[in-house]
Chains A and B, each alone.
Chain A
Amino acid sequence: MNTAVMPERENYLNASYGLKSWLLTKDHKRIALLYLITITLFFLLGGVFATLIRLELLSPNGHLMSSDTYNKMFTMHGVVMIFFFLIPSIPAAIGNFVLPMMIGARDLAFPRINLLSWYLLVIGGLLAIFAMVSGGVDTGWTFYTPYSTSYSNTWVIATALGIFVAGFSSILTGLNFIVTIHRMRAPGMTWFRMPLFVWAHYATSVIQVLGTPVLAVTLVLVLCERLFHIGLFDPALGGDPVLFQHLFWFYSHPAVYIMVLPAMGVVSELVSTFSRKAIFGYKFVAFSSVAIAVLGFLVWGHHMFVSGQSLYAGMVFSFLSYFVAIPSAIKVFNWTATLYKGSISFETPMLYAFGFIGLFTIGGLTGLFVAALGVDIHVTDTYFVVAHFHYIMVGGAIMAYMGAIHFWWPKMTGRMYPEGWAKLSALVIFLGFNLTFFPQFILGYLGMPRRYHTYPDEFQVLHVFSTAGASVLAVGYFIPLVYLLWSLRYGKVAGANPWGATGLEWQTASPPPVHNFDVTPVVDCDAYDYSRVIREVVEIG
C-alpha cells in the first residue's frame, strides 16, 4: 500500500507544526485529540479523589481525613468524573474524531464552534479546579438545595459556574453533531446506511441539546439564590427545595444516557467488526437509541421516590423506568444475536465489548431493582445504588471508551498498540472493576449508606475487598497509559484498515489526511457489508 511505501505522506498530524497550529486548529481530528488529552487529565484527577475515598474507607473509623474533607472528596470525585470526563468522553473525543469520517464528511458542519466547545470545557474545568484548590466543595455532585444554597460554606459558586460553562461545551458538540449528520453525509450515505455509532451519537446529541440548558438555568438560579437570596428554592419564603431536584434530574437522568448511549454505539461497531457479521436487526438497534433518548426524558422522578413527591408520580416514574429497559435489552439481545455463528476474534477492543455487555447487563438489571418503588425505599442512598451506577458508568461507559480508544488508535495515530499488554490490561480492569464494585452491592443491601466515611465493624471485610479491587483497577488503567504513549513511537505501523472493518473511516489512510478523504466517497451498500472488505495483512502484536 501507499502508506507503507511513502512514510512521508501528508496527514493531519504532520500537515503543520507548532503549538499555535494545535490551539487554533479547526480540524475535527486535532480537536478530538485536544479533548482526549484534556479528559485524560480529568480522569486522572477524578481517580486521585477515588483513591483517597477508597483509602479512607479501609478502616471503619476513618483515620485519614475528617468528615468534612471526606464530603469534599466524594463531591469532587463525582463532579470531575461526570461533568469533565464521562459527558465529553466518547462523544467529544472519539466521536469528534470518527463521526465525520464515518459519514464521509471532510469535517463537522461548524469547525470553529467545535474548537470553541473545547475551550469552554477547558475554561469550565479550570473554574472547577480553581474551586478545588481553593478549598473544595462539599455538596455532592447533585448540589441539593437548601444545603447548596443556604448552608454550605464551600466553593459552590465557582464549581457550579464551571459546570455551567462546560455545559455549553456539551450543547455545542451536540448541535454540531446533529447538523453534521443531517447535512454532511456523503452521496449515497442514507440514514439507514449509517453506522450505528452515528445513530447513537445522534440520539445522544438530542439529549445534550434539550437537557443541558435546563441544568444550566437551574445552576444559574442556585447561584442567584446564593448571591442574592432570591428564595426560589428556600422553604422559608415558600419556595420548594424538591423543585430543584426535579430540575436537576430532568437533566441529570438523561445525562446518564449521554454517557451510555455513545458507549452502546461503540459496542455495536466492535461486536460487528470482530464477529465479521452485520449487526442483527440494524433498524431495531438504531431506533432503540432514539427510544432511549426519548424515554430517558420521562423517568427523572425515579431519583426522587423518597423525596416526598406524590405517590402517583412515583408510580408513573417507576412504570416508565421499566420501559427504558426494553430498548436497552433490545441492544443486548441483538449484539448477542450478532455474535451467533459469527467469526469471532478476541482482539482487545472485543474484550472490552464483552466486558461492556456483561457489566452493562448487571448494571441495567440492578437498575430495575431500584426502579421498583418498594425495593428502592430499602436501598435508597445505600452502596447498592453506588454499585449500580458504577456498573453503568465505569463497567459500561468506560469499558466502551477503552474499547473505542484501542479500536481507533491505529486510525488516530497510524500505530498499533501492543496487543499482549492490551489484553492483559483489559483483563486486569475487568477483574479489578468487579472486585471493587460487586462487594458494594452486598454492602448496600446490608444497609451501608452512601457518603458516610465511618461504618460498623462488620462492613470492613467488604470495604477491604472494594479497596483492593480499586487498586487493581488503578493498575489496569495505568498500563494502557504507558503502552499507548509507548506505541506512538515504537508501535507497529498500522495500515488503513487493520481490523478489516467496514466503516468509511477505514477506507482512508491512517492517520487520515487533513480533509479525511482524497476523493469524497460514494456509498452504495449498507453498513457492515463484510463481503466487500478486503482485509489488509497486518500482523497484530
Chain B
Amino acid sequence: MRNRQSAIRPHGHPAVAVAALLLFSVPAWADGNPTQGKSKSAMCEGCHGIVGYRTAYPDVYPVPKLGGQAADYLAKALQDYKSGARAHPTMRGIAAGLSDQDIADLAAYYSDPGKRAP
C-alpha cells in the first residue's frame, strides 16, 4: 500500500485517476509488421529520415525523431492526425491516406531504433 501511495502521490493530480481509467478503455490497434512498415515509409523519410530536418509550416522546429519510439504512441499519433485530433497540417494530410494496417506497420517499423544517427 505504501509503495502504491508513493508512486502516485508526487503528482497528486486528478490526471492520474483519469489515466487509470484510460488504461482500460484504449482501443487495441492492429498488429504491425515492421517489414511492411519499411516498404511504406518512403513518405516519412523525406522529413523524419534527415538528421535535424526542420518543418517550415506552421512553425519552424526540428521534426521529431521516430527511431525507437514506443509503437503504441506512434500509432496513436498517426490515428490522432488522421482523425484531426492533432492539428499539424502536413501530418494530417499524410495520415489521411493511411489505413489502420498502414499505421500499425509504420509504428512497428519505427519502434525499432535500428543502427541510425542518434
Tell whether A pairs with B.
no
Chain B interface residues (CB < 8 Å from chain A):
none
Chain A interface residues (CB < 8 Å from chain B):
none
